[in-house]
Amino acid sequence: VAAPHPIEARGLVKRYGHLTAVDHVDITVEAGTVYGYLGPNGAGKTTSLRMLLGLIRPDEGTAKLFGRDPLEEGAAALDGVAGFVEAPRFYPYLSGRRNLELMAALDGGDAPDRIDAALETVGLAGRDGDKVKGYSHGMKQRLGIGAALLRDPRLLLLDEPTTGLDPAGMRDMRELVRRLAADGITVLLSSHLMGEVEELCDRVAIVRSGRVIYEGALDALLRSTGQRYRLRTTD
Ligand code: ATP
């Protein structure tokens, strides 16, 4: 039997009153790929990612990570999985390293080697002693991903990690995503930027008003449309 995919979601639906925020979404993410979940603001990206992680319950459908459903199996189903969906809140008057130490302690252990590795990977090794208060937005985002890396994930879900960053911050974040992928981590990345998804992702789902309107390989999409697909977003 083949190993279960990192993500297999079928028929996910989430309604808020009359609004169907996520409308029968299927997502399959294969191991070793970077999967782009692309759509404009309000398309339902965050809601989808929160359902995948078991943070909210879908009205219909199922989401499995490595074949396990976090809603049924709890934290054990999230072994090897990390999410950057809600940016973690850091203690501003403590250093980046101290913040990670506290998070590692909450997760049941202090892991100096893992903290060193995470800080190195996210490019903060030289600034780890500085108070988070003095970090740029991009550095805080990268520290957030460093926190996710403490779980030693095989699968990482990143919700719009570049939103709100200046050009240098975006470049650093994209470089980091490439590095994580090169390290063998499977990544689901949501974005409203076509160019970003084109640069980083192997496959893409394009979502509008909660629905997936295209799913497949990016090169096939670009070939079939004969031009760059145009989304009405702020790309
Ligand atoms: P953004 O980039 O703006 O976060 P998104 O694609 O992540 O967009 P969602 O945040 O998933 O979109 O929201 C999808 C729709 O569902 C929006 O219209 C939003 O207002 C609505 N929505 C999300 N969460 C709730 C909630 N808890 N209660 C009511 N409506 C919600």
Query: Is there an atom of ligand 1 within 6 Å of 47 CB?
Result: yes
Compute the distance between CA of residue 6 and CA of residue 157 in angstroms, rounded to an integer. 11
Task: Give the pTM.
Answer: 0.91
User: What separation in angstroms does the CA of 58 have from each of 38, 40, 101, 146, 191?
Assistant: 20, 21, 34, 29, 21
- 135 — pLDDT class (breaks 50, 70, 90): very high
Closest atom, ligand 1, to C-alpha of 17:
29
- Residue 148's closest CA among 94, 99, 202? 99
**Does the pLDDT at position 119 exceed 80?**
yes
What is the bridge-based pairing of β-strands 19-29 and 81-84? Answer: unpaired
Cβ count near 103 (within 10 Å): 18
154-203 pLDDT, tens digit each: 999 999 999 999 999 999 999 999 999 999 999 999 999 999 999 999 99
Q: Which amino acid is at 189?
A: L
When computed from its CA atoms, the radius of gyration of the chain, rounded to whole angstroms, is: 18
Ligand 1 pocket check: which of 18, 45, 163, 213 to mutate, most ligand atoms within 8 Å of Cβ? 45
- Strand stretches in 147-185, DSSP E: 155-159
Report DSSP state, residue 1: -
| Residue 41 Cα to ligand 1 middle (Å) | 8
Tell me which residue has its CA closest to atom 18 in ligand 1: 42
**pLDDT, position 233:** 46
> Three-state SS for 88?
coil
Compute the distance between CA of residue 55 and CA of residue 73 in angstroms, rounded to an integer. 13
47-97 pLDDT, tens digit each: 999 999 999 999 999 999 999 999 999 888 999 999 988 777 899 999 999
> Three-state SS for 14?
strand
Query: Is there an atom of ligand 1 within 6 Å of 16 CB?
Result: yes
**pLDDT, position 225:** 66
Report DSSP state, residue 171: H
| Residue 160 Cα to ligand 1 middle (Å) | 13
| Residue 158 Cα to ligand 1 middle (Å) | 16
**Which phi and psi (to 5°) does residue 152 adopt?**
55, 55
Q: ipTM for the complex?
A: 0.95
